[in-house]
């Protein structure tokens, strides 16, 4: 293999059998279950990387079912998103993500810098309840519930929230263990269609775990929940701040 061939084909690892295909990445019938809760503001400030700024002491705990996604297949993920501001522009910072499929773990970390770890989230309807459970190994670390489709929501505000920017801290180490890439990345969802959105009474419990520390941002008060069905494309990102420059 010539050097030119390496450069031409080197978009992901392994070189001759990449863990994921090139984008764009389209998601059909993507299902969100998002619970917003109030947390300890000091604990929140401690995990938001500058130059991002905290707006309110709020966390959004998400469960997302992706039954049909380009290159990644059928999988589920869960995690915490923090509302932030970057140079006056409001968006969401992805603090933690846990999912059950290798391809989107590899792509998410390598391309955008999503903070993804292997775990076992589940989102499903059980009788009259929409339920989400996140397990790290066999141990449950988050349990969320919502009354199923108690109230239909207008899709306009939901679409607006999905189109807001999202921020990630991308870290790629050098071969000696020092950071070679340390960047703040911004991306947007594209070509979004909201097929339905609902709310209902909600509950959320987080449990201590050494390697999945979601409970480090404790639930002080559940503020509300939303259930969304949508189609969308995950847009590629842009670097908005280089910590090593």
3-state helix, strand and coil shares in percent for the chain, rounded to the nearest 5: 15, 55, 30
pLDDT at 77: 98
pLDDT at 43: 98
Which residues of the chain fall short of a pLDDT of 70? Answer: none
Residue ranges of the alpha helices (H) in 10-93? Answer: 41-45
What is the domain partition of the chain in residue ranges? 21-242
Give catalytic status of residue 195 as yes or no: no
**3 membership: H or E segment, kind and range:** helix 3-9
- pLDDT for 163-219, tens place per residue? 999 999 999 999 999 999 999 999 999 999 999 999 999 999 999 999 999 999 999
Residue 100, Cβ neighbours under 10 Å: how many? 17
Six token digits for residue 4: 């030119």
pLDDT at 176: 97
Angle at 188 between CA 217 and CA 12, to 5 degrees: 90
d(CA 177, CA 159) in angstroms, rounded, equals 41
Characterise 11 by phi-psi region: left (phi > 0), alpha (psi -120 to 50), beta (else): alpha
Helix or strand or coil: residue 118? strand
The dihedral formed by the CA atoms of 221, 226, 232 and 236, expressed in degrees to the nearest 10: -10
pLDDT at 171: 98
pLDDT at 25: 97
Six token digits for residue 71: 């290159």
> What average pLDDT is seen over the chain?
97
CATH number at 21-242: 2.40.400.10
pLDDT at 97: 98
Six token digits for residue 19: 């863990």
**202 membership: H or E segment, kind and range:** strand 202-206
pLDDT at 36: 98
Which residues are within 8 A (CB) of 131 and not within 5 positions of it... i.e. 6 or more apart? 122, 123, 124, 125, 143, 144, 145, 146
pLDDT at 213: 98
pLDDT at 150: 98
Check: CB of residue 38 under 8 Å from CB of residue 220: yes
Of 60, 116, 151, 195, which one is the catalytic site residue? 116
Six token digits for residue 136: 């790290």
**7 membership: H or E segment, kind and range:** helix 3-9
pLDDT at 76: 98
Q: How far is CA 214 from CA 31, 44, 47, 50, 160, in A?
A: 21, 12, 12, 21, 27
pLDDT at 136: 98
């Amino acid at each position: 293999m010539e050097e030119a061939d390496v450069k031409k084909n080197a978009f992901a690892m392994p070189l001759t059998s990449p863990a994921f295909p090139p984008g764009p990445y389209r998601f059909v019938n993507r299902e969100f279950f998002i619970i917003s809760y109030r947390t300890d503001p000091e604990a929140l400030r401690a995990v938001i990387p500058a130059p991002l700024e905290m707006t309110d002491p709020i966390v959004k705990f998400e469960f997302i079912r992706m039954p049909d996604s380009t290159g990644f297949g059928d999988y589920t993920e869960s995690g915490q998103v923090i509302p932030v501001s970057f140079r006056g522009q409001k968006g969401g910072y992805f603090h933690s993500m846990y999912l059950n499929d290798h391809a989107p773990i590899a792509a998410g970390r390598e391309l955008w810098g999503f903070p993804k770890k292997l775990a076992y989230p589940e989102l499903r309807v059980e009788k009259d309840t929409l339920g989400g459970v996140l397990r790290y190994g066999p141990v449950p670390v988050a349990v969320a519930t919502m009354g199923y489709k108690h109230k239909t929501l207008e899709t306009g505000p939901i679409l607006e929230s999905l189109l807001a920017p999202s921020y990630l801290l991308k870290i790629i180490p050098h071969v000696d263990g020092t950071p070679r890439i340390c960047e703040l990345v911004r991306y947007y969802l594209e070509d979004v269609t909201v097929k339905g959105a609902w709310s209902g009474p909600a509950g959320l419990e987080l449990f201590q775990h050494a390697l999945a520390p979601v409970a480090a941002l404790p639930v002080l008060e559940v503020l509300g929940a939303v259930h969304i069905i949508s189609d969308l494309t995950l847009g590629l990102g842009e670097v908005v701040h280089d910590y090593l420059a």
